[in-house]
Amino acid sequence: MKKSILLLPLTFLVFIFMILIHGKTNMSNSEFYKNHKQISFLINKYSAEYDHELILATKEIEQKLYGKWQVGNTLGYSLKYDITGGALDNGKLDLSKNKFSITMRSPVMKISDGKLRTTGEFEDHITDYGSPVFAYYQETLNQMKQDDFLNDYSGIEGLNPDTVGTVIIAMGLSSDSTDNYSYITTGFIIINDYIIAVRQSSFYQLQKIEQ
């Protein structure tokens, strides 16, 4: 009887420990930054500027983003600016818990006859960010048409305007910094099965090429 009584507190402590461990394993990588001062500052600043309540991304959202992506065709357009493409054309994205890598293709230039000309060849320019953190808000396609952050996204033709999508911003450590988080100018929209990259008022459908 005495042994049983003595074991009760130990059993209770083990139970509490298992609950805490389970809670942590269900947290997303982004949610681990809940009390990070720089991340909190960036989220609060963004929320105030664009009047959206940002929430740190769940594990489900992160898993949808993680992987290697080929940037495909544009999908929708800005209703505010006459821009379609040019920001991420033919690019690639590589997203994981540890990095956010953006590969952009640009023409090779050289001076010929005193003028700067294209050679017809292309080269990759890679921008890397470490330890990316994602935050999101949700709104309907109708609301996206009047969203200043998205520069009034037209949405996807044929979808119900009341369809709810997830708008995602990214923050990360630039390659020359180990402790200074900043916004990443490439964000995302998830609408049903569509994963869309957003950069400079252009919207691209992403095609996964590797997990």
Q: Would you say the pTM of this structure is higher than 0.75?
A: yes
In the predicted structure, residue 112 carries a pLDDT above the cut 60: yes
For 190-206, what is the mean pLDDT? 96
pLDDT of residue 86: 77
Chain mean pLDDT for the chain: 86
Spatial distance between the Cα atoms of 147 and 126, rounded to a whole number of angstroms: 29
Residue scoring higher pLDDT (3 or 115): 115
Structure tokens at 94: 């590589």
Q: Per-residue pLDDT tens for 70-109? A: 999 999 999 999 877 778 888 999 999 999 999 987 767 6
Spatial distance between the Cα atoms of 29 and 140, rounded to a whole number of angstroms: 26
Spatial distance between the Cα atoms of 13 and 91, rounded to a whole number of angstroms: 51
Buried b (16+ CB within 10 A) or exposed e, 41-61: ebbeebeeeeebebbbbbeeb
Residue scoring higher pLDDT (4 or 172): 172
